[in-house]
Amino acid sequence: MLTGCGSLPGLSGDNEVTLRVVAADYGDNPQNTSKGYWKDLAAGFEEEHPGVKVEVSVYSWSEVDAKVAAMVKAGKAPDIAQIGAYADYAEADKLYTAEELLSVQTEADFLAPLADAGKVKGDQYGMPFVASTRLLFYNEKLLTDAGVLGKDAKGGWQPKSWAELEAAAKKLKAANVQTPFALPLGREEAQAETMMWLLSGGGGYTDNEESYAIDSAENVKTFEYLRDKLVGQGLTGPTEPGKLNRQDAFDAFTRGEVGMLNGHPTLMKQAAAKGVKFGMVAMPTADGTEHPTMGVADWVMAFKNGHRKESGKFLDYLYESKNVTAFTNKYDLLPVTTSGFRAVEGSAGGSSAQLRTFLTALPNSRLYPAGKKSWAGVSEDVKTKIGKAVQPGGQPEKVLEDIAASARAQDGGR
């Protein structure tokens, strides 16, 4: 785990520089591990840049953030890390900015909302690696049998408002569907399900000035709706939302037990593999008008190890369109660059055609406030507390005020 072989900072000269890269594994079995992608990428880069070696270590998502944190603590930070969060390292002045690393062309190629989400105090430290958005999935057969969809299901179902969503859920319940609408507010991804609902209710985790606004009037109304109209009317199935995890909801959908739920691109493959015919639409909103959807990004960052020039060249190579789409196509994820976006838009057939539904939502999406050092703690608070807001007799205002007070305290009052 040693850095370059005696090179001067930022120069490769006659001495070979070794870039150490740590990345997360997006595969779910040994056959589709991300190691193959990074091995090919490193080999291609080394061929074009003699004098620079690239060593990549790939770890599972459950351990990669902790591995990087331990390396940093030991004074042996990698040159480049592809992980889940960057704000802590940026606040500690351990990272190069995107401007210090990337060519003008590469920096300008990032989709605007993703580039903005990578900023701390106006400077971009987090470079988006891959992204996804969320859509409302529905089971075509269950909705047809319940009379929500016509028998031919042509044109699909296009609900615009929560009222339409609720009406469909009631029909599904009347048709004895076990879970008309799955509402996973369990630990696994409660912060995502929460954000989807907050945005569709006209709110969000932050206001337009990026200060926390978790306890806003709009957010309180959103959770009162979930408590009274979905949970309170028995439309969310047998498992209490605060105890329902995302993957358990996905599994139930693939078994044909769930009429509707919010999902990301991974669910397309899982449902198709089980023979479930499904449709995907934008999340309906409180009043039927268009609101931003939720986007999620994972991040790349470069540590100040004296290899700024070499790291920048490697990152320029990483973000070439062919390399971006090679990764996103493999894992049914969304590209983070305009050039990658156009490449997916222009492809035909297979999962690429379905991915375009997610892709169209990406340019206007809102992301977690990942530039806030406090976000990790706030996300944990949401995971452990938000389920109580939708219980019968739950107090959304009190729960949201509690989370908001803690968030502001962690964020220095903002």
List the chain domain ranges: 17-131+296-367, 135-292+374-410
Q: Span 305-331, mean pLDDT?
A: 95
Q: Beta strand pairing status for 179-181 and 258-263? A: parallel
pLDDT in tens, 231-253: 999 999 999 999 999 999 999 99
* Predicted pLDDT of residue 349: 52
What is the b/e burial string over 330-357, where b = at least 16 CB atoms within 10 angstroms of the residue's CB? ebbbbbbbebbbebbeeeeeeebebbbb
Q: Long-range contact list for 99-108, CB < 8 A, 24+ apart?
A: 99/123, 99/124, 100/308, 100/312, 101/302, 101/308, 101/311, 101/312, 101/315, 102/127, 102/312, 102/315, 102/316, 102/319, 103/312, 103/316, 106/315, 106/316, 106/319
- Lowest mean per-residue pLDDT among 57-66, 282-291, 358-367: 358-367
Tracing tokens 């603590």 back to the chain, one arrives at 73
Identical fold, 17-131+296-367 and 135-292+374-410: yes
* Predicted pLDDT of residue 154: 63
Q: Span 312-331, mean pLDDT?
A: 94
Element holding 225 (H helix, E strand): helix 217-225
Does pLDDT of 386 surpass 80?
Answer: yes
* Predicted pLDDT of residue 85: 87
Phi, psi of 40 (to 5 degrees): -65, -40
Q: Span 349-377, mean pLDDT?
A: 82
Residues 6+ apart with CB under 8 A from 40: none
The answer to whether residues 184 and 245 touch, using CB atoms and an 8 Å cutoff, is: yes
The answer to whether residues 249 and 264 touch, using CB atoms and an 8 Å cutoff, is: no
Q: Span 115-139, mean pLDDT?
A: 94
What CATH number has the domain spanning 17-131+296-367?
3.40.190.10
Does pLDDT of 215 surpass 50?
Answer: yes
* Predicted pLDDT of residue 283: 94
Does pLDDT of 9 surpass 50?
Answer: no
Q: What is the mean pLDDT of the chain?
A: 91
Sign of CA dihedral 25, 85, 187, 158: negative
Q: Span 258-286, mean pLDDT?
A: 94
The answer to whether residues 129 and 83 touch, using CB atoms and an 8 Å cutoff, is: no
Q: Span 250-268, mean pLDDT?
A: 95
- Lowest mean per-residue pLDDT among 10-24, 47-61, 187-201, 374-388: 10-24
Partners of 25 in the β-ladder: 60
The secondary structure of 160-179 as a DSSP string is: -BHHHHHHHHHHHHHTT-SE
- 3 state DSSP class of 300: strand
pLDDT in tens, 45-90: 999 999 999 999 999 988 999 999 999 999 999 999 999 889 999 9
Q: Span 115-133, mean pLDDT?
A: 94
The answer to whether residues 136 and 361 touch, using CB atoms and an 8 Å cutoff, is: no
Q: Report CA-CA distances (Å) from 342 to 38, 292, 346, 386.
A: 23, 21, 6, 38
Does pLDDT of 347 surpass 50?
Answer: yes
Does pLDDT of 224 surpass 70?
Answer: yes
CA 391 and chain centroid, separation = 27
User: pLDDT band for position 360 (50/70/90)?
Assistant: confident
Does pLDDT of 365 surpass 50?
Answer: yes
Does pLDDT of 135 surpass 80?
Answer: yes
- For residues 198 and 370, give the distance between their C-alpha atoms in angstroms, rounded to a whole number: 17
Q: How many other CB atoms are found less than 10 A from the CB of residue 391?
A: 15
The answer to whether residues 281 and 136 touch, using CB atoms and an 8 Å cutoff, is: yes
- Lowest mean per-residue pLDDT among 14-23, 71-80, 177-186: 14-23
pTM to 2 decimal places? 0.84
Domain 135-292+374-410: top CATH class: alpha beta
User: Identity (one letter) of the amino acid at 193?
Assistant: E
Q: How many other CB atoms are found less than 10 A from the CB of residue 2?
A: 8
First to last CA, the chain: 40
Q: Report CA-CA distances (Å) from 344 to 91, 105, 325.
A: 35, 19, 7
Residues 6+ apart with CB under 8 A from 366: 113, 195, 199, 204, 292, 293, 294, 295
Q: Span 262-276, mean pLDDT?
A: 92
